[in-house]
């Protein structure tokens, strides 16, 4: 898929005519990042907005005692870096390449200019941000759960939503993040993740093969953990 085709599939830009998409594309630059490379850092001043054209990134914050908390994993067609452009403050979190990834970059001036010129982009952006707040609310709620199985269940549901594909009620998460990353999303330890994945397998709620995890009956799984 060309960068221009990809831009036309990004939800916040779907209302743009092709001529406007071309203008947007003309104002963007491109960059590639290696796995684990830092794309932007919490507390830095930022001047750029990013759209992921290939691969995925993780959005993290580091707690006082040095633990990484993963706020989100974003993939192809997702955007990041908008918050500091909108409120003029420093970056709210770190963005780190999860695998080799490619991004399209728009400068603050052009980003804000497009929002002013096309109010529909602003509305779509708000819709997307509302969705992110909902996910964060669920994450905060799940952190309060003492039951580790429940926490991992909620985290797997989030990964299913963000990275999964569904076919006949089975959701496949093809590139399951490392167990340490799942632990950092769920606010628990890698050992607990390993134990809980085994337990969920024994209960025949999930199956695993290489890096793919399948939720065998998505509706049943949702009912159990939401
Ligand atoms: P900004 O603050 O400019 O830089 C860090 C980016 O991480 C931020 O913009 C958002 O794009 C993204 N981000 C921060 N918090 C979350 C979250 N809870 N979910 C998804 N993305 C986030």
Please give the radius of gyration of the chain, using alpha carbons only, rounded to the nearest integer: 18
Q: Where are the domains of the chain?
A: 3-141, 147-225
Residue-level pLDDT, tens digit, the chain, 226 residues: 888 889 999 989 988 999 999 999 999 999 999 999 999 999 999 999 999 999 999 999 998 888 899 999 999 999 999 999 999 999 999 999 999 999 999 999 999 999 999 999 999 999 999 999 999 998 888 888 778 899 999 999 999 998 899 999 999 999 899 999 999 999 899 999 999 999 999 999 999 998 899 999 999 999 998 8
Reading phi first (left if > 0) and then psi (alpha if -120 to 50, else beta), residue 179 is in alpha
Q: How far is the CA of 199 from the centre of ligand 1 (A)?
A: 33
Find, among 131, 120, 116, the residue nearest to 85 by Cα.
Answer: 116
Question: What pLDDT does 144 receive?
Answer: 82
pLDDT value of position 10? 92
From the list 102, 81, 106, 104, the residue with the least C-alpha distance to 32 is 102
Class of domain 147-225: mainly alpha
- Is the Cβ atom of 95 under 6 angstroms away from ligand 1? yes
Please give the model's pTM, rounded to 2 decimal places.
0.90
Q: Do domains 3-141 and 147-225 have the same CATH topology?
A: no
187 in contact with ligand 1, CB cutoff 6 A: no
d(CA 111, CA 115): 6
Give Cβ neighbours of residue 87 (< 8 Å, ≥ 6 apart): none
Cα(130) to ligand 1 centroid in Å equals 13
Q: Which CATH class is domain 3-141?
A: mainly beta
Angle at 175 between CA 174 and CA 177, to 5 degrees: 135
Phi, psi of 172 (to 5 degrees): -105, 130
């Amino acid at each position: 898929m060309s960068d221009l085709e990809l831009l036309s599939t990004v939800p916040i830009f779907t209302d743009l005519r092709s001529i406007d998409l071309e203008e947007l594309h003309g104002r963007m630059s491109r960059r590639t990042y290696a796995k684990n490379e830092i794309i932007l850092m919490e507390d830095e001043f930022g001047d750029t907005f990013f759209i992921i054209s290939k691969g995925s990134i993780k959005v993290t914050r580091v707690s006082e005692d040095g633990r990484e908390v993963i706020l989100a994993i974003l993939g192809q067609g997702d955007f990041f870096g908008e918050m500091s452009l909108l409120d003029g403050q420093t970056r709210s979190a770190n963005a780190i390449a999860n695998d080799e990834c490619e991004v399209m970059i728009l400068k603050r001036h052009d980003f804000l200019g497009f929002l002013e010129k096309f109010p529909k982009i602003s509305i779509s952006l708000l819709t997307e941000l509302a969705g992110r707040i909902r996910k964060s609310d669920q994450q905060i709620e799940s952190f309060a759960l003492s039951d580790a199985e429940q926490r991992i269940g909620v985290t797997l549901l989030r990964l299913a939503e963000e990275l999964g594909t569904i076919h006949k009620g089975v959701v496949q998460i093809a590139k399951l993040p490392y167990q340490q990353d799942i632990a950092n999303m769920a606010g628990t330890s890698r050992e607990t993740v390993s134990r809980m994945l085994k337990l969920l397998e024994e209960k025949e709620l999930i199956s695993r093969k290489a890096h793919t995890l399948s939720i065998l009956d998505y509706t049943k799984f949702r009912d159990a953990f939401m």
